[in-house]
């Protein structure tokens, strides 16, 4: 069985706890991927502009399934952009206002947006994941963009309860998923990382059984179920380990690059 596409989540998977990775080792493996015509895809809940900053030398050669699949860019070209109906955005913001402990970033194609009355600590935290983050008087006023995701933050101990409440309140309008720590994303139904991978597979003629995927959180489940080769990090959530074919070394032990080296044939 040959792998023709390798898809990696970033936080908690490809990146270590310091938000870094072994750049020298990756560079060597990336050259081997190119020689073997294996596509390398970054599949993350984070913003495209943030994700590409990790790969300055080769960003224009790579493909990104950003924003949990809502924005797919391949070699600098836009392949897919999801959109949440503006009326629905308004309805969801109204519902979220009732969650007093939560904080919200509204994610769009051109930028992400945060209300200027949010705590500065939350805004600074947001900037790590959203390199384009605009402060606005309130999120209801954001109109001039294609909006495709809500990124929410709650105290970690509340996340499972909040996920249930959001499921009950929102129905199938947008789907709440855990993306690690206290973060919860609201995504367009059916638009997830696996959907983004399928868009790329169509372009490249790659079958599901030729895909290897790596993840650690709830937003990786569809992608891991979809891929012929699926790997959960040892630091991953239990439900992620349950669907993966194999559990590998943690994100702080170079788990992804070690496994990629194996897949490429030491």
Kindly state the helix (H) or strand (E) to which residue 81 belongs, with its residue range. Answer: strand 77-81
The domain segmentation of the chain, as residue ranges, is 5-81+191-264, 86-187
111-130 pLDDT tens trace:
999 999 999 999 999 999 99
The answer for residues whose C-beta is within 8 angstroms of residue 155's C-beta and 6 or more apart is 101, 182
> Which tokens hold the place of 159?
């996340």
Dump pLDDT digits (tens) for 29-77: 999 999 999 999 999 999 999 999 999 999 999 999 999 999 999 999 9
- For the residues 227-232, what does the mean pLDDT come to? 98
Q: What pLDDT score was predicted for residue 100? A: 86
The dihedrals phi and psi of 211, each to the nearest 5 degrees, come to -105, 135
Instruction: Share the mean pLDDT of the chain.
Output: 95
Active-site positions read 9
Backbone angles phi, psi at 10, to 5 degrees: -100, -70
Q: What are phi and psi of 171, to 5 degrees?
A: 60, -130
Starting at the edge strand that comes first in sequence, how are the strands of the sheet with 77-81 ordered?
77-81, 71-74, 63-66, 39-43, 5-8, 211-215, 229-233, 246-248
Fill in the DSSP letter of residue 83. -
Can you tell me the distance from the alpha carbon of 211 to that of 226, in angstroms, rounded to the nearest whole number? 8
Pairing of strands 183-187, 175-178: antiparallel
Q: Where are the alpha helices (DSSP H) in 171-226?
A: 193-204, 221-226
> Is domain 5-81+191-264 in CATH 3.40.190.170, yes or no?
no
pTM for the predicted model, two decimal places: 0.94
Q: Whose CA is closest to 130, among 235, 44, 251?
A: 44
Residue-wise pLDDT for 79-115, tens only, equals: 999 999 999 999 999 999 998 889 999 999 999 999 9
- CATH for 86-187, options being 3.40.50.300, 3.30.1240.10, 3.20.10.10, 3.40.190.10: 3.30.1240.10
Sequence-ordered list of residues with C-beta below 8 angstroms from that of 97, at least 6 positions apart, any chain: none
Question: 171 pLDDT band (50/70/90 cuts)?
Answer: confident
- Residues facing residue 43 across a β-bridge: 65
Q: What are phi and psi of 230, to 5 degrees?
A: -130, 135
Nearest to 25 by CA among 250, 216, 230, 261: 261
- Write out pLDDT tens, residues 241-251: 999 999 999 99
How far apart, in whole angstroms, are the C-alpha atoms of residue 230 and residue 160?
A: 25
φ/ψ of residue 213, rounded to 5: -130, 145
Distance CA 242, CA 17 (A): 23
């Amino acid at each position: 069985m040959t792998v023709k596409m390798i898809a990696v989540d970033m936080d908690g998977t490809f990146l270590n706890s310091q938000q870094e990775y072994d750049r020298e080792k990756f560079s060597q493996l990336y050259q081997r991927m190119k020689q073997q015509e294996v596509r390398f895809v970054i599949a993350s809940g984070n913003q495209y502009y943030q994700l590409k900053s990790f790969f300055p030398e080769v960003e224009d050669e790579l493909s990104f399934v950003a924003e949990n699949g809502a924005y797919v860019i391949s070699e600098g070209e836009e392949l897919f952009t999801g959109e949440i109906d503006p009326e629905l955005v308004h309805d969801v913001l109204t519902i979220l206002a009732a969650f007093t402990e939560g904080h919200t970033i509204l994610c769009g194609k051109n930028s992400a947006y945060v209300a200027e009355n949010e705590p500065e600590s939350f805004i600074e935290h947001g900037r790590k994941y959203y390199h384009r983050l605009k402060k606005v008087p309130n999120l209801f006023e954001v109109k001039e963009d294609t909006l495709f995701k809500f990124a929410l933050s709650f105290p970690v101990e509340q996340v499972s309860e909040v996920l249930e409440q959001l499921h009950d309140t929102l129905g199938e309008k947008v789907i709440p998923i855990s993306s690690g720590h206290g973060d919860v994303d609201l995504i367009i139904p059916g638009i997830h990382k696996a959907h983004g991978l399928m868009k790329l597979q169509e372009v490249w003629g790659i079958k599901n059984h030729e895909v290897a995927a790596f993840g650690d959180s709830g937003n990786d489940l569809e992608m891991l179920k979809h891929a012929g080769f699926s790997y959960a990090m040892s630091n991953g959530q239990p439900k992620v380990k349950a669907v993966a074919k194999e559990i590998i070394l943690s994100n702080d032990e170079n788990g992804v690059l070690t496994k990629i080296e194996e897949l490429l044939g030491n």
